[in-house]
Structure 1
């Protein structure tokens, strides 16, 4: 995931405006007929997200008499870390600002505030999912959420929740849009993560534009200093704020996204069967797992990461070689099963996460990718590889093991996955094992063989 300093100016409006693709974007009306929307539900991770990303859309729908619900998920209290203002006071201020802002967008707009602690959307994912579920707008409705590629974890997770629920509900006639906010700050027209093919332009009429500007002005705590202390500087830099005063909004349309689709698919797979691939009983799986562990160049590692842990069987086999082991999977059902399986190992942590979009911080001595790479599109897997190598210790190892036979839900094949790893100039292939059905590679920043590492030669 991209990183950025939200209080810095960021990319100026002029840089984006200079690219002819922006104004040449297809109109939003090509994807959504505003006159046919029966209900609008807008999800916001923080107070002001709804106005920044979709204020004009909200104002236009409200003016046409469409029932509109705005859900602000968190309390916004983390906007000023170290502030001289107490958290309680900031929560109250931001709640009042949201009330005023949403009322300015439309007097009849329903505002729902849940007060989840700011920055904990991922941790509260299950709770938020169940609270969003009954709010899905139904046939003819429009669900609007933060763009999952926005570079902010709370935005990503809330967007994933929306897409997941809409996919599970399979509601015909319900449309989902995503609104970027921080993209305009950290991105630039030629940035590889800009989803140009999926962007749609929505010009605002004078009434909607005025309503959006007035609503944004209501968020004084985000636009003006809370005090003279450096911790209380405005969150919205004036250069950044100009992106939302252009008389138009931009939305992301398209399918539910590769990772969310995978998550929902894997949730259903694990819910149907406790051991979907029979990894605990098949000799093929047990043998392959033993080969994977035996391929480790070192007997002991400090910090280990496993991406795509499923129900935690390989995790358990890796645990004796690790001082600390973090295992990740996109499926909440798989994560719960893995946690139960590994509860007796205090040095093992299992989390639900999409490593390609939100790679864990810190340095790892070993990263294991087993049967996961081909579920990612090539560009997403490329970003994951970059994050892995960026966060790999100077002598760190990467183990990759993948099934080589074709499957209908693979986005690429095992050859492509291992070739992308091998193409990184910072990695050296120190072991290569190929069979008819799988390939097992060990890459390392340390090019030495195990014999050389251990002093045998």
Structure 2
């Protein structure tokens, strides 16, 4: 990314909260990277400046490389226009630094990917439309998916790159629906535009794998001129603040797709498979989670200890399993709504359950949408990492409006690596913090457990 002016703030003051709460996300199609890339052998990512590729499509690039798709990244400018008022770094030095940063970032994101530096003037892409079209066309082949900035992203270079990429794809396909696909990613739009400006019907969300999420974060860190101050001097400030970076840390890529490019949604059977795996855990007994172990008992005590109030009117326990925590929460609440996807788990939970607990079967995020009323407290204990990044986003979007003013959101998770599930505890807590960080009230970190509490005031 490059800055042509120096606005006092580059990100929107309402941050991710204004996006996650928009209920139109529930209408958006989703896919995993393999579903998106099935029709293609190559991925060509067009970026106006070094770092745009990480900000707009980092996890997608990493997953494409892991799937064996040939990845090429076309960096149209060297980003030399960054920090125009810097007293310590010249334009030529900035160009050299950012070229090197782009190469290093791609070596982390997609080892073996081809990086092409077009060397066009930073801030001058709109005046060089035909040149950019030619640069893109030079890298096209059959069965290539082109991913470029959106034409309405809000930055002149980004918009120009998107228009040129679209023209190149149209020329390659000859107007007859060829094998070259096109999708656009978003960078500045998340900060400079409104949800009502987004063509929701064209969106496709592509979940990132846990490995891709980790590599995308490391790759962004390689863009040191953008994510850290050049020096303490005025004009050398950090450009990519945490607020600016937040959309890139969602764990999924949001694309605007052209006709014929979007694949069908992931098969619904995948959800059934996940529920069946939870059900199968009860075939050998009623307590697959060893709820009386020291770890589980201590975790419940920690959960109760971090709650800000002595008593609550209405509590949601999302992912209640056999209901042991639900029962403990009932001792602090007038009413508890306990939700789980597994019927065998709920059958165990209903035995000797307090009358003040209502048991609901369903999966997040959909089940949250169907809950009536508001809650003073919502607890997600070792459940969120079973969700994909987009499912977690949707769950947050459904939960936040159902919290009463000042209501608490509590996340409790195992801190160690997970296997064969979408996320792990640290990834969950990082993603939620990007949305809810302004409301943080308690953070507890120890060897085995992560606990984060938020008091949602707006």
Q: Normalising by the residue count of structure 2, what TM-score does the alignment of the two structures yield? A: 0.52
The answer as to whether partners of 2:155 and 2:188 remain within 8 angstroms in 1 is yes
Relative distance call for 1:79 and 1:22 in structure 2 (3 A) is farther
Higher RCO, Cα 8 Å, sep 6+: 2
Shift in Å, 1:29: 5.8
Q: CA RMSD in A?
A: 2.2
SS for the counterpart of 2:235 is: helix
* Cα distance in 1 for residues equivalent to 2:139 and 2:116: 11
- Aligned to 1:232, the other structure's residue is in SS state coil
Are positions 1:177 and 2:154 aligned together?
A: no
- Residue by residue over 1:392-435, the C-alpha shift from the partner in whole angstroms, topping out at 9 and shown as x without a partner, is xxxxxxxxxxxxxxxxxxxxxxxxxxxxxxxxxxxxxxxxxxxx
| Residues 68/118 of structure 1: CA separation in 2 closer, same or farther (3 Å cut) | same
* Structure 2 counterpart of 1:14: 17
Task: Tell me if 1:53 matches 2:56.
Answer: yes
One of 141, 152, 174 as aligned partner of 1:149: 152
Unaligned runs of 5+ residues in structure 1 are: 257-457
Contact preservation (8 Å) 2:33, 2:64: no
Structure 1 residues 6 and 63, CA gap change in structure 2 (3 angstroms): farther
Summarize the alignment of residues 342-381 of structure 1 with structure 2, pairs less than 5 Å apart.
none
The 1:132/1:107 distance shift into structure 2, 3 A limit, reads same
CA 1:32–1:125: 2 relative to 1, 3 Å: farther
In structure 2, the partner of 1:107 is: 111
TM-score (norm 1): 0.52
Are 2:222 and 1:225 aligned? no
Cross-structure match for 1:247: 251
Question: 2:216 aligned to 212, 222, 226, which one?
Answer: 212
1:194 aligns with 2:206: no
Do the aligned partners of 2:58 and 2:216 also contact (CA within 8 Å) in 1?
A: yes
- CA shift digits 1:222-259 (9 cap, x unpaired): 01111222211122121121111111110001259xxx
Segments of structure 2 that go 5 or more residues without pairing to the other structure are 261-458
**Does the aligned pair in 1 maintain the 2:130–2:164 contact within 8 Å?**
no
Q: Report if the CA contact (8 A) 2:51-2:223 is conserved.
A: yes
- Aligned to 1:36, the other structure's residue is in SS state coil
Matches of 2:151 and 2:34 in 1, distance apart? 19
Q: State how far apart, in whole Å, the 2-side matches of 1:146 and 1:93 are.
A: 23
Q: Secondary structure at the match of 1:27?
A: strand
SS of residue matched to 2:231? coil
**Shift, 1:132, TM fit:** 1.7
| Residue of structure 1 in register with 2:166 after alignment | 163
What does residue range 213-362 of structure 1 map to in structure 2 within 5 Å?
Answer: 213-255=217-259
Aligned match of 2:294? none
1:201 partner SS: strand
Question: Structure 1: how far apart are the matches of 2:234 and 2:26?
Answer: 37
Q: Deviations over 1:64-104 (max 9, x none)?
A: 11111001000101121211211111111111111110011
**Contact 1:6/1:235 (8 A) holds in 2:** no
| Match of residue 280 from structure 1 | none
Secondary structure, aligned partner of 1:162: helix
Partner SS state of residue 177, structure 1:
strand
